[in-house]
Structure 1
């Protein structure tokens, strides 16, 4: 199961019922956090999810509402007894920004590894999670992220038996490796079934709409996207500050043919985002307004239906 939780849904400043932006994902023992705004520790504790288990922290960009919670979180991870490295990933200048913040969080008991995204955006294999950054448009280096679980084709033992392939070689073929034995060459395609659909969750905040986002989130099972403003009359302001409206996020979801859209990163002035939900749903019907600790459990197509906790 692939767990996704919106830890914070606010933009710019925290509110009593809305902490700053952060999203937590976990699968098969790997935990990943995207952004770390103020209040991230509080919602994680309320959710009951482990600080110690966080392996990767990704940043869309370095405005304070996306990174201000990092020093305290790293201290808490250290106090949890973690000694294994934690990997931080983000746009250029990541190390410089984080090392400045760590002046108030020195002597961590675990090493920090840095991966800065420059130029071309590589596909990152983070244990069982495949992360593909895509460029956003916020007037400063900014990325969204596609997080995928890719499934190998099913191994067909009956085919392996019929071909007389020795049992010790089955595992290598299942991994996708070619095996040569006593002059015979066995290809994975000989014993693997059709490709199986995996899972894809995408996250993007602080951007104007652009093709790189649509391409990056294409066919996602869940697209989490900023809806800084619900009011159509805020369109001029959205353009000026490089943000999106509900309608623009819904239009990208429709263009990308995603299954579900969650809106997040609301302006402090947007007290009741549900008031504008119908306008987004007229464009993309399966749109939901995000709220802190909103959680979804995604399962593969051949498993039972996923569930959402709101």
Structure 2
């Protein structure tokens, strides 16, 4: 006898879709994903805590934070998030998945910003470090990492996250690299950084270059994100979907 298995539905909410400079008043990068069994953040830019509270999302309900690289608009919100998390007495432990050195970097930031306020060793936080081309598994998800082309010192990676039978892929910050083809393969949603419209810049994608490679991407749906002022000025010429703060999708 065959039984119908109900597919897991994911709700993705854009907490922040902006660049490092808050172009257009957009918040720094952060995407919130919720299922019936877990809540996670993909990146945690400096404005994340305010963005979560604007959307009524409680920090104590977040179980996983996945970080693509060590630039402040992608991980700089962790000190503020963890300060608030520490005072909420969360029921579930928090897992932070990142390139190597996240705990040390965040502790240094906490010591600079709020000296004497918080020691990470006193929190129920599990820091899991990944290398490029690695697969990391937790109770509720599988994260596959891809090296990308950005500022090397920030240890940049793209992430392919599988939750149940759903796949969300996110490029992080990068210029075009063939690894994006595999990253996007059959993804239910591919979130792709597209900083510029025409301007070509080392370490970032532009819309014209992305269009040239678009036929190679087999994702089911694509959202562009991380727009600077030039991209925002040309939104009327963009034919692809793009992320905006507060935008929500069911996957």
What's the TM-score once normalised by structure 1's chain length? 0.70
Which whole-Å CA distance do the structure 1 matches of 2:125 and 2:213 have between them?
35
Which position in structure 2 is the counterpart of 1:263?
224
Which position in structure 1 is the counterpart of 2:185?
218
Which whole-Å CA distance do the structure 2 matches of 1:252 and 1:41 have between them?
35
Residue correspondence of structure 1 range 186-197 to structure 2 within 5 A = none
Which whole-Å CA distance do the structure 2 matches of 1:107 and 1:288 have between them?
41
Q: Are 1:199 and 2:207 counterparts?
A: no
Q: CA deviation at 1:229?
A: 0.4
Q: Are 1:115 and 2:115 counterparts?
A: no
Which whole-Å CA distance do the structure 2 matches of 1:127 and 1:252 have between them?
35
Quick check: which has more Rg, 1 or 2?
1
* Alignment counterpart, residue 294 of structure 1, candidates 226, 239, 247: 247
Bigger proportion of residues as strand:
1
* Alignment counterpart, residue 126 of structure 1, candidates 138, 144, 149: 138
Q: Is the alpha carbon distance of 1:249 and 1:81 closer, same or farther for their aligned partners in structure 2, counting shifts above 3 Å?
A: farther
Structure 1 residue runs without a partner (length 5+) = 151-197, 282-286, 299-310
Which position in structure 1 is the counterpart of 2:206?
245
8 Å CA contact retained: 1:137, 1:207: yes
Give 4+ residue runs of structure 1 displaced > 4 Å after superposition: 250-253
Aligned length: 236
> Aligned Cα RMSD in Å?
2.0
Structure 2 residue runs without a partner (length 5+) = 1-8
Residue correspondence of structure 1 range 13-28 to structure 2 within 5 A = 13-15=21-23, 17-28=25-36
Q: Are 1:81 and 2:89 counterparts?
A: yes
Residue correspondence of structure 1 range 1-310 to structure 2 within 5 A = 1-15=9-23, 17-82=25-90, 84-103=92-111, 104=114, 105-107=117-119, 110-118=123-131, 120-140=132-152, 141-150=155-164, 198-230=165-197, 232=198, 234-235=199-200, 238=201, 240=202, 242-277=203-238, 281=239, 287-298=240-251
Deviations 1:20-55 (A, max 9, x none): 111111223211111111221222122222211111
Q: CA deviation at 1:14?
A: 2.2
Which whole-Å CA distance do the structure 2 matches of 1:77 and 1:22 have between them?
17
